[in-house]
Chains A and B, each alone.
Chain A
Amino acid sequence: GAVVSQHPSRVICKSGTSVKIECRSLDFQATTMFWYRQFPKQSLMLMATSNEGSKATYEQGVEKDKFLINHASLTLSTLTVTSAHPEDSSFYICTPWDTTTDTQYFGPGTRLTVL
């Protein structure tokens, strides 16, 4: 199957700092990337959809100025959590969409802990 990487896998930061999470599709090109968030013992909730070269579309209730998404190339998308607070602590998962197989492949996730 397709390979998706996320970096870092875990990050702990202080409240008020910004954290950047990278998502790469290693063996396919992704014109569309989905970013999900999963709080402990809960399901995955879509945060935003990004298309390469254009602005991301955010789901209702997700602050676009707080969660900055950049999809500058067909193999890389980044999510930056700005001015992180403890309530932003969550598991963030990216899902690039492979057009050739019409399949979304989940990344391994990034565990963010904000102290």
Chain B
Amino acid sequence: GQQLNQSPQSMFIQEGEDVSMNCTSSSIFNTWLWYKQDPGEGPVLLIALYKAGELTSNGRLTAQFGITRKDSFLNISASIPSDVGIYFCAGQLSTGTASKLTFGTGTRLQVTL
């Protein structure tokens, strides 16, 4: 099945640093979502984006829905140790209907003190 390209694949950063990751697709999506997954658990929704160009924040997280509808980025400011985990982007074609999610390849984030 299709997967979205996510970069970087992994990153080591120091506590307090800002983090940026992005996700690109060869096809357009009408909704972009960002999830965090801790080991052995299901993904947890961080931010949902519904409109091209939309910039949305959730605490220290900020995400943007690309104008072309083929990309999105996620920023984490002032990282803390609990930010460690795997971050996945996901694209969805439709809203208002049960539409499947297409996931990115994931970005593994490790934060050092």
Q: Is the CB of A44 within 8 A of B1?
A: no
Binds A, one of B66-74, B76-84, B98-106: B98-106
Considering the chains assembled together, what is the distance between the CA atoms of A103 and B95 in angstroms?
Answer: 9
The answer, among B41, B45, B88, for a CB contact under 8 Å with A43, is B88
The answer to whether B11 has its CB under 8 Å from any CB of chain A is: no
Within 8 A of B (CB), among A1-56: 4, 31-32, 34, 42-46, 49, 51
- What is the size, in residues, of chain B's interface with A at 8 Å between Cβ atoms? 20
17 inter-chain pairs at a CB distance below 8 angstroms, sorted by A residue, are A31-B98, A34-B100, A43-B88, A43-B106, A44-B43, A44-B88, A46-B1, A49-B100, A51-B98, A93-B42, A93-B43, A97-B98, A104-B101, A106-B35, A108-B41, A109-B40, A109-B41
Interface residues of chain B, those whose CB is within 8 Å of chain A, are: 1, 3, 35, 40-45, 88, 95-96, 98, 100-106
